[in-house]
C-alpha cells in the first residue's frame, strides 16, 4: 500500500498518541509518535515528515519552542498545532511563527485529515516553487558578462551577435569550464526574447523518467506521485529561452521525444493526451564530442543534424591566454576581493594549459586570494599550482646517470626544475625517501606529496 504521507504525532498523553496513530494509519498515512518536545525535534532533524501534529504543553521543551526551532532551522515539515489548552493568544502566536493550522481538542478526525491533506498539498507547491526558483537563479557566483579581447573571444562575440536575434536552435560546444553556459545566457540576453525567462535544464543530472516529466510536465494520475498536474520546464520557458545543458547525456530513448519537440514545437505532458504548442527558443550545450557519439550510435544522427544547424565553439583557455590578466581582474572583482596579481604571477598563470579552462582559473584565483595575506599576489602564493598539472610520469631507473639538473635550461618552468631536481636526488639515494627528504630539507610528507603531484614512479620500491 502506498502511504499518503509521513506524520509525526507529538503528544505527552500516551492514550492520545495511540488513538491518533491508529486513526491516521487507517487513513493511509505512515505515522510515528514522540512524547516530548526534544525527541520530536530530534526526529524531524533526522527524517522528513510531511506533517507534524504538535501539542503545546509538553515535557522537555514546549510546543511553541519546538515550532520556533523547526521554522528557524528551515525544516520543511508543515506543523499543525493540536491542543487542549487553546487560547486566542497562543493560536495567533503559533500562526505567526509559521504553523499551518491550529486545531482544538477534542478534534474531529475528519476535520483533522482534511487539514493534513491541505498541508501536504501546500507543502508540495511550496517545494516546487523553491526548486524552480533555485533552478532559475542557479549561478555559480561567476561573471555575468563575458570578458576577453583576444581574437578568439572577438570571434565568439561576433558569432553570438549573429545568431542571437534569429530563431535558430544553437548548439554550443567547448571543453569543460570554457564558458558555454555564459554564452547561452549571452545569446538569450541579446535575443528578441531577452527580457523573458531563461530556463535551464541539466540533462546529465536527471534519470530518464524524471527528465521527461521535468521537461514536459505531467498530468494528474500519470504515476503514483502525480497527485496534481504539473507544468514542465519547456512550458515554463514558453515565450523565452530553454537551455538544455549537457545535451550529450540525454538517454537514447528520450532523444526521439526531444527531436519531435524540436521539430514540431509541441510537447505532450506525461500521461497526457493532447499536444501543447510552445514558442520557445532552444539553446543547448555539451562538452562531449557529439559527432563521435553519433558514430558510436550513442546519439541519434537525426537529432544531431537538427541541433547542429548552427553551432558555436567556445575556445579553450589555452588558445586565448592573452585574456588571462583581464579574466583574473574580473574574477577577483566578482569574488569581492581587493587584491591584484603581480605581473610575474600573471605570466606564471599564462604558462599553464588549463584543462578545466576558465572555471579552473577561477578556482585558482579564488584559492590564491584566500590563502595570501597581502594585497599583491606573487608567484610564491601560487606554489599550489603544481597540483593542477599532471605531467607524464617520470620513471626512476636504477644505475642511471642522475646528472639531469646541473644546468637547468632557461626555458624550464620553476615547477619542472623542481621536479627534475627531486628525481635526481631520489636517484642518488636509490629511492630512499627519508634520505631524499633530509637532503631536500623538506619533510617526508611533503616529499611524498610532491612525488604524487609530479607523478614520479620509482623502480626502487
Ligand X SMILES: Nc1ncnc2c1ncn2[C@@H]1O[C@H](COP(=O)(O)OP(=O)(O)OP(=O)(O)O)[C@@H](O)[C@H]1O
Nearer to Mg ion, 175 or 240 (CB): 175
Q: How far apart are CA 367 and CA 345, in angstroms?
A: 14
Nearer to Mg ion, 101 or 181 (CB): 181
Residues 182, 234, 270, 332: which binds ligand X (CB under 6 A)? 182
Shortest Å distance, C-beta 380 to ligand X: 26
Q: How many residues bind to ligand X according to rule CB under 6 A?
A: 20
Shortest Å distance, C-beta 167 to Mg ion: 23
Residues 11, 36, 101, 181: which binds Mg ion (CB under 5 A)? 181
Shortest Å distance, C-beta 181 to Mg ion: 4
Shortest Å distance, C-beta 180 to ligand X: 3
Shortest Å distance, C-beta 361 to ligand X: 8
Interacting partner of 240 out of Mg ion, ligand X, none (Cβ under 5 to 8 A depending on kind): none
Residues 99, 147, 203, 349: which binds ligand X (CB under 6 A)? 147
The residues in 244-303 that bind ligand X, with binding defined as CB under 6 A, are 287
Nearer to ligand X, 112 or 331 (CB): 331
Shortest Å distance, C-beta 290 to Mg ion: 15
Nearer to Mg ion, 181 or 214 (CB): 181
The residues in 308-367 that bind ligand X, with binding defined as CB under 6 A, are 327, 330, 358-359, 362
Shortest Å distance, C-beta 214 to ligand X: 18
Interacting partner of 178 out of ligand X, Mg ion, none (Cβ under 5 to 8 A depending on kind): ligand X
170 forms part of the interface with ligand X (CB under 6 A): no
Residues 149, 176, 264, 446: which binds ligand X (CB under 6 A)? 176
Nearer to Mg ion, 176 or 446 (CB): 176
* Segment interacting with ligand X (CB under 6 A) among 24-32, 89-97, 145-153, 385-393: 145-153
Residues 5, 37, 63, 177: which binds ligand X (CB under 6 A)? 177
Q: How far apart are CA 312 and CA 178, in angstroms?
A: 12
- Nearest residue to ligand X on Cβ basis: 142
Residues at the interface with Mg ion (CB under 5 A):
181
Residues at the interface with ligand X (CB under 6 A):
140, 142-143, 146-148, 174, 176-182, 287, 327, 330, 358-359, 362
Amino acid at each position: 500500500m502506498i502511504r499518503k504521507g509521513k506524520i509525526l504525532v507529538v503528544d505527552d498523553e500516551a492514550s492520545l498518541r495511540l488513538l491518533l496513530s491508529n486513526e491516521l494509519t487507517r487513513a493511509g498515512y505512515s505515522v510515528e509518535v514522540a512524547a516530548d518536545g526534544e525527541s520530536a525535534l530530534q526526529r524531524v532533524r533526522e527524517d522528513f515528515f510531511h506533517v507534524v501534529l504538535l501539542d503545546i504543553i509538553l515535557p522537555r521543551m514546549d510546543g511553541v519552542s519546538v515550532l520556533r526551532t523547526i521554522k528557524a532551522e528551515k525544516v520543511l515539515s508543515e506543523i499543525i498545532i493540536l491542543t487542549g489548552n487553546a487560547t486566542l493568544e497562543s493560536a495567533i502566536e503559533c500562526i505567526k511563527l509559521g504553523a499551518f493550522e491550529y486545531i482544538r481538542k477534542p478534534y474531529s478526525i475528519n476535520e483533522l485529515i482534511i487539514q493534513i491533506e491541505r498541508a501536504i498539498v501546500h507543502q508540495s507547491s511550496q517545494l516546487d516553487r523553491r526548486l524552480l526558483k533555485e533552478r532559475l537563479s542557479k549561478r555559480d557566483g561567476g561573471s555575468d558578462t563575458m570578458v576577453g579581447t583576444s581574437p578568439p573571444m572577438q570571434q565568439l562575440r561576433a558569432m553570438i551577435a549573429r545568431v542571437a536575434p534569429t530563431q535558430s536552435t544553437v548548439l554550443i560546444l567547448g571543453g569543460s569550464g570554457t564558458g558555454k553556459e555564459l554564452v547561452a545566457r549571452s545569446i538569450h540576453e541579446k535575443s528578441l526574447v531577452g527580457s523573458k525567462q531563461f530556463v535551464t535544464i541539466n540533462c546529465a543530472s536527471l534519470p530518464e523518467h524524471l527528465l521527461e516529466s521535468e521537461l514536459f510536465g505531467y498530468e494528474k494520475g500519470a504515476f503514483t506521485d502525480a497527485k496534481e498536474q504539473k507544468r514542465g520546464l519547456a512550458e515554463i520557458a514558453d515565450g523565452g529561452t530553454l537551455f538544455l545543458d549537457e545535451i550529450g547525456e540525454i538517454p537514447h530513448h528520450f532523444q526521439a521525444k526531444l527531436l519531435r519537440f524540436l521539430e514540431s514545437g509541441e510537447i505532450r505532458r506525461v500521461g497526457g493526451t493532447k499536444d501543447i504548442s510552445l514558442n520557445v527558443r532552444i539553446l543547448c550545450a555539451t562538452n562531449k564530442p557529439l559527432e563521435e557519439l553519433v558514430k558510436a550510435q550513442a546519439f541519434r544522427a537525426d537529432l544531431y543534424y537538427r541541433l547542429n544547424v548552427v553551432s558555436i565553439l567556445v575556445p579553450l583557455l589555452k588558445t586565448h591566454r592573452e585574456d588571462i590578466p583581464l579574466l583574473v581582474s574580473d574574477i577577483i572583482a566578482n569574488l569581492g576581493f581587493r587584491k591584484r596579481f603581480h605581473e610575474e604571477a600573471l605570466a606564471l598563470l599564462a604558462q599553464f594549459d588549463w584543462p578545466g579552462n576558465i572555471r579552473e582559473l577561477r578556482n585558482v584565483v579564488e584559492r590564491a586570494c584566500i590563502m595570501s595575506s597581502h594585497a599583491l599576489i606573487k608567484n610564491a602564493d601560487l606554489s599550489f599550482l603544481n597540483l593542477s598539472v599532471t605531467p607524464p610520469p617520470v620513471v626512476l631507473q636504477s644505475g642511471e646517470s642522475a646528472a639531469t639538473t646541473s644546468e637547468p635550461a632557461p626555458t624550464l618552468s620553476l615547477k619542472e626544475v623542481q621536479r627534475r631536481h627531486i628525481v635526481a636526488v631520489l636517484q642518488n639515494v636509490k629511492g630512499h625517501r627519508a634520505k631524499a627528504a633530509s637532503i631536500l630539507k623538506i619533510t617526508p610528507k611533503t616529499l611524498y606529496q610532491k612525488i604524487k603531484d609530479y607523478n614520479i614512479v620509482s623502480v626502487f620500491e
